[in-house]
Structure 1
Amino acid sequence: MAIHQDNPYATLTEAIAQLKADGYTHDFNQQGKHLECKKLSKNFQPEDFTITHTYRFEGMSSTDDNSVLYGIEAADGTKGQLVDAYGVYADSLSPEMIEKFRVQYDDPGKL
């Protein structure tokens, strides 16, 4: 389960750039039951990856601008990132994927 980390970044772009500099160079997409890395033509089941970084960003003008950046490492060593808007894809994900991406925050009212 991903744990909320203090977010030292002012912008999502800044956080993405730092993760890339730290080797998280691949882009992941959430699918119903797995993560997909199109560039590598690979799919990763929930048990095959770990969320190593979680950074939450809140939009200034609209809650529609809220997003979470995940740093992800797969069991085979593939490192990448996923940007997700809060809850947008939750209805299309399997219970295992929802649980994998559940983020714990100090305030239980968040997310």
Structure 2
Amino acid sequence: MKTYETVTEALQDLRQRGFTRDFNMQFDCIQGADNNYKLHPQDFEIEETYRFEGNTNPADEDIVYAISAKDGTKGVLMHGYGVYSEDISADMIRKLGTK
């Protein structure tokens, strides 16, 4: 797996490698930016995970997931962790914690 210095560097490389769709976290699924495309935990796999920790600001802590859906769609999900992370279902916690 590659290593990246910044979130931006990771996102640029992943997009060049075909992970072109942007996903947003929902309580029990991830959703495409257009809100018309949803993937539940059983509908996707996490191909790669990159964790970034802010040196001085906890708000800078992110995880970037490279996601492949069963239908062939590939995209990225950025998820903050720590105090500011979203409330998500137990199934989503298990899925995102697998890598």
TM-score scaled by length of structure 2 = 0.89
Deviation at 1:76, TM superposition (A): 0.3
Aligned residue in 2 for 1:35: 30
| Matched AA of 1:38 | A
Per-residue Cα deviation, 1:46-84 (whole angstroms, up to 9, x for no partner)? 000001010011111122311110000000011000111
Q: Distance in 2 between matches of 1:57 and 1:43?
A: 26
Unaligned runs of 5+ in 2: none
SS, match of residue 59 in structure 1: coil
Which consecutive segments of 4 or more residues in structure 1 shift more than 4 A?
A: none
Q: Distance in 1 between matches of 2:88 and 2:80?
A: 14
| Matched AA of 1:79 | K
Unaligned runs of 5+ in 1: 105-111
Q: Does 1:70 align with 2:39?
A: no
Deviation at 1:29, TM superposition (A): 0.8
Aligned residue in 2 for 1:61: 56
Q: Distance in 2 between matches of 1:38 and 1:12?
A: 19
RMSD: 1.6
Q: Distance in 1 between matches of 2:33 and 2:77?
A: 12
SS, match of residue 50 in structure 1: strand
Moved more, 29-38 or 44-53: 29-38
**Quick one: higher RCO (CA 8 Å, sep 6+), 1 or 2?**
1
Contact 1:46 1:96 in 2 (8 A): yes
Identity of aligned residues (%): 39
Deviation at 1:41, TM superposition (A): 1.5
Aligned residue in 2 for 1:9: 4
Aligned residue in 2 for 1:21: 16
